[in-house]
Amino acid sequence: HLRRYQRMLELLPPGAGHPLLDVGCYPGHLAVLAAIKGWHVSGVALEPERLGEPGFPDRMQAVGIDFHSLDIERTPLPFSADSFDAVFFNETAEHLAFNPFYPLGEIWRVLKPGGLMIFSVPNLCRFDVRWALLRGRSMYRPLSSPLALAFSSDMSNRHIREYCPGE
């Protein structure tokens, strides 16, 4: 992911104290890096227990990030319209059990006109996936892996739908 994250940060201008929302902010590294670039960061993600890290909100608050727990697929974002100059929606849409349209609608609602949204998902058509398929292998962990790794019981850790560049 390093190359994608570096590109996201290159796309993000210095913040000068302007508000940025990180939707699906777990594990928090992009939110922290945006704060270092001068943005006033708010983040939303699932409840810490579902993320497997109960101390996550405290960790975010300790570095000045305003964290909110919510289900972005069903719950309105707890912010007024036109309240953010920038939004991160990175490495999150592929984990959504339903579809990305509800959270995208909420992002458009809270993003100021002319604001910046930086969006990314893993590329299903990337070389390593195509190479594995050409060799008759899967992009997923083998079935011989421990059950908890091959089939995570936590939906937030699974990729529900992969995307191609044209999408």
Q: Cβ of 145: how many Cβ atoms within 10 Å?
A: 11
**pLDDT averaged over 10-residue windows placed end to end, the chain, 167 residues:** 83 95 92 96 84 84 94 94 96 79 96 95 66 74 68 61 74
Contact status, residue 103 vs residue 89, Cβ threshold 8 Å: yes
Q: Cβ of 27: how many Cβ atoms within 10 Å?
A: 13
| Lookup result for tokens 């305003």 | 66
pTM for the full predicted model? 0.82
Say what the pLDDT of residue 150 is: 61
